[in-house]
Structure 1
Amino acid sequence: GVTVITTRDCDGNPRGMTANSFTSVSLDPPLLLVCVAKAAASFPAFNETRSFAVNFLHEGQVDVSSVFASKAADKFQSVNYDRAHTGAPILTDSLTWFDCTVHNRIEAGDHIILIGQVQAFGTSPSAPLGFCRGRYASVKDPLPAGWLASQDMIIGYLVEAGDRILLRTDGKGSWVLPTARRRKADSQLVLDGGEALTLVPENTFLYSVFDVADSDPGYLIYRAELSRESAEAALPDGHAFFSVDVLPYERVATHELRAMLRRYARERQDKRFGIYIDTGDGGRVAMIDGQSQSWTQAASE
């Protein structure tokens, strides 16, 4: 597959290049490696960075591949990108992306080997972009229709807008959380209906992981803050804001969701949030103290 690696230089400018060598290294901790030629224009940025991203392209991103394989002065001028955990650029709609901190940097002849520890990732069921014998190639039908949805956890968002929470109707008279087909970079939430909401990226955090029944794929819930423009815009059909103080608990679809919303209201009042993990003894909550900060700031302290 075609891989683009991205980072930011010492001035905060996005830098990137196609990589001809990518390998998974370890599962625990999750490590991967890429090789960067010392002759590459972006080498100084990758040689000094504390974080980088690996972006696998899908078959519709031939133009993106061409840009990053070129010697263009500003490769990001013609492509869309976002950020996730570390701040490294995540190419919009990539097939798969890994957001990494630098675990190790190894000299290897005319290259350096960057070993990254994965901090966040995203994926999609699109077909990958291949490159073979000097030309692009397409890999058809990478996954059966519906396979990803049947295997992945259900991704829900507890979306805040001031002192309000965004809920959606389940079509049966009850309220549930907004859900997304897949988790992408944290500045945008693409709902199951295709509508997009803009989030405040630095305020998106994992909040709860649980199962409702053994037959469920499981639930992965993020706490997020809606951007001002999305909060003031018309909501998608079937969605509504509710004040945290008067959430419609009696009309919330499941016991698990009601319990989570009550925990959220309590933690919000205390200004101290936790992460819930479902366990055999009823679940555990790991409390998180203090204000959020960027990874770069945290790593330098």
Structure 2
Amino acid sequence: MLAPAPQTETAIDPIALRRAFGTFVTGVTIITTIDCEGNPRGMTANSFTSVSLDPPLLLVCVGKGATSFPVFNQAQFFAVNFLHEGQAEISGVFASKSPDKFQSVSHDRVHTGAPVLTDCLTWFDCTTHNSIDAGDHIILIGQVRAFGTSPSAPLGFCRGRYANVKDPLPAGWLASHGMVVGYLIEAEGNILLRSDARGGWVLPSAKRRIADNELKLDDGGALTLLPDNTFLYSVFDVADSDPGYLIYRARLSQDSMGVALPADLKFFPIQALPYDAIPTRELRAMLRRYVRERLDARFGIYMDSRDGGRLAMIEGDAQPWQKTMREQS
């Protein structure tokens, strides 16, 4: 028998290969972590793949020539943030070598400590499961510890440029549950929180605004709020559950100071709130804002928006509506 003819190896043109790879339409992500000095680090990447549901694994590829490569190569945790269609500019910032990348975005910490972008399409907070050397990249495999998503349209990328993705939200993708009314109740320098039965703490809530300035308790009792000290404080959505939230700030009346609380309600000192046990970054951010404004005795109203929200400060003391109308007439 004749020996098979040796195969001639064809040289691969890396530029042409890059262009061929680029015809695969992807989303755009910003991957983030913390360096050894505690500084947030991040870069744009579009090589993302879901790997496994059990355990929950994903992967991203990090180029060895990237400025942040040494940090990600040693990272014990990282976050992957999908960008929505309005964040092409942010993608450009994180693709650059700018030293102030995080000045352009609001961010928070959820589980591992990696920066999670407050306004993005979807985020995954991960511990590093494995790191695999792969040519001029490393494959960073993460185990998902927390995640959240939103109904925004994704930012696409194809052939080296951003692409619009027609993305009508499928029916039932995020079910709307109407508005949840929450109360940020203060009494003698303490804030009232409610156990969520999963080890976390949230604000007391109601299906609609509390009638007669009373917060009903499970045992049939009630806490009375001061009517002249109850104000709308924040309006926002929680991305991964999609209800709208109306938050009122309020003060407890003197008559309710000695009322025995059910086991799921507890007052926490305003300077010692259990942020690590508060399950959503939106609620943590709102409470931190309240603490700052409480110290300054100057409050605002927050309204959610796609670019991170709007905050309007309130000047002066509250006035009765009828008195205001009389003065204007």
Residue 223 of structure 1 and its aligned partner are, at CA, apart by: 9.8
Pair 1:75 & 2:101 matched? yes
Q: Residues 176, 33 of structure 1: CA spacing in aligned structure 2 closer, same or farther, 3 A cutoff?
A: farther
Q: Contact 1:36–1:112 (CA<8 Å) still a contact in 2?
A: yes
Question: Which amino acid in structure 2 is aligned with residue 31 of structure 1?
Answer: L
Q: Residues 139, 193 of structure 1: CA spacing in aligned structure 2 closer, same or farther, 3 A cutoff?
A: farther
Q: Pairwise mapping of residues 103-118 of structure 1 onto structure 2 (< 5 A)?
A: 103-118=129-144
Q: Contact 1:9–1:45 (CA<8 Å) still a contact in 2?
A: yes
Q: Residues 112, 160 of structure 1: CA spacing in aligned structure 2 closer, same or farther, 3 A cutoff?
A: farther
Q: Contact 1:37–1:43 (CA<8 Å) still a contact in 2?
A: yes
Pair 1:148 & 2:174 matched? yes
Deviations 1:157-181 (A, max 9, x none): 7968625345455147375899963
Q: How many residue pairs align between the two structures?
A: 216
Pair 1:182 & 2:238 matched? yes
Q: Contact 1:25–1:32 (CA<8 Å) still a contact in 2?
A: yes
Pair 1:226 & 2:226 matched? no
Residue 100 of structure 1 and its aligned partner are, at CA, apart by: 0.5
**Distance (whole Å) between structure 1 residues aligned to residue 117 and residue 244 of structure 2:** 19
**Distance (whole Å) between structure 1 residues aligned to residue 76 and residue 139 of structure 2:** 14
Moved more, 165-174 or 6-15: 165-174
Q: Pairwise mapping of residues 65-104 of structure 1 onto structure 2 (< 5 A)?
A: 65-104=91-130
Q: Contact 2:181–2:247 (CA<8 Å) still a contact in 1?
A: no
Pair 1:203 & 2:261 matched? no
Residue 195 of structure 1 and its aligned partner are, at CA, apart by: 8.5
Pair 1:131 & 2:157 matched? yes
Residue 249 of structure 1: aligned partner? none
Match of 1:85, SS? Answer: coil
Q: Contact 1:203–1:224 (CA<8 Å) still a contact in 2?
A: no
Pair 1:2 & 2:25 matched? no
Residue 308 of structure 2: aligned partner? none
Moved more, 161-170 or 2-11: 161-170
Residue 137 of structure 1 and its aligned partner are, at CA, apart by: 1.4
Pair 1:164 & 2:217 matched? no
**Distance (whole Å) between structure 2 residues aligned to residue 36 and residue 82 of structure 1:** 23
Structure 2 residue ranges without an equivalent (≥5): 1-26, 194-202, 218-233, 250-269, 302-329
Q: Residues 43, 134 of structure 1: CA spacing in aligned structure 2 closer, same or farther, 3 A cutoff?
A: same
Residue 26 of structure 1 and its aligned partner are, at CA, apart by: 1.0
Match of 1:127, SS? Answer: coil
Residue 234 of structure 1 and its aligned partner are, at CA, apart by: 5.2
Deviations 1:106-148 (A, max 9, x none): 1112211111011111111001101112221122343158851
Q: Contact 2:180–2:245 (CA<8 Å) still a contact in 1?
A: no
Residue 43 of structure 1 and its aligned partner are, at CA, apart by: 0.4
Q: Contact 1:7–1:49 (CA<8 Å) still a contact in 2?
A: yes
Q: Contact 1:7–1:46 (CA<8 Å) still a contact in 2?
A: yes
Q: Residues 82, 172 of structure 1: CA spacing in aligned structure 2 closer, same or farther, 3 A cutoff?
A: closer
Query: Normalization by structure 1: what TM-score?
Result: 0.59
Question: Which amino acid in structure 2 is aligned with residue 182 of structure 1?
Answer: V
Structure with greater Cα Rg: 2
**Distance (whole Å) between structure 2 residues aligned to residue 157 and residue 101 of structure 1:** 32
Question: Which amino acid in structure 2 is aligned with residue 75 of structure 1?
Answer: K
Residue 79 of structure 1 and its aligned partner are, at CA, apart by: 2.6
Identity %, equivalent residues: 60
Q: Pairwise mapping of residues 267-278 of structure 1 onto structure 2 (< 5 A)?
A: none
Match of 1:45, SS? Answer: helix
Match of 2:36, SS? Answer: coil
**Distance (whole Å) between structure 1 residues aligned to residue 183 and residue 49 of structure 2:** 35
Q: Contact 2:150–2:239 (CA<8 Å) still a contact in 1?
A: no
Structure 1 residue ranges without an equivalent (≥5): 185-189, 208-221, 237-301
Residue 84 of structure 1 and its aligned partner are, at CA, apart by: 1.1
Query: Normalization by structure 2: what TM-score?
Result: 0.55
Residue 193 of structure 1 and its aligned partner are, at CA, apart by: 3.8
Q: Contact 1:5–1:54 (CA<8 Å) still a contact in 2?
A: yes
**Distance (whole Å) between structure 1 residues aligned to residue 61 and residue 41 of structure 2:** 15
Question: Which amino acid in structure 1 is aligned with residue 31 of structure 2?
Answer: I
RMSD: 4.1
Q: Residues 144, 11 of structure 1: CA spacing in aligned structure 2 closer, same or farther, 3 A cutoff?
A: same
Q: Residues 119, 233 of structure 1: CA spacing in aligned structure 2 closer, same or farther, 3 A cutoff?
A: farther
Deviations 1:18-64 (A, max 9, x none): 11311111111111011111111100100111110000000110110
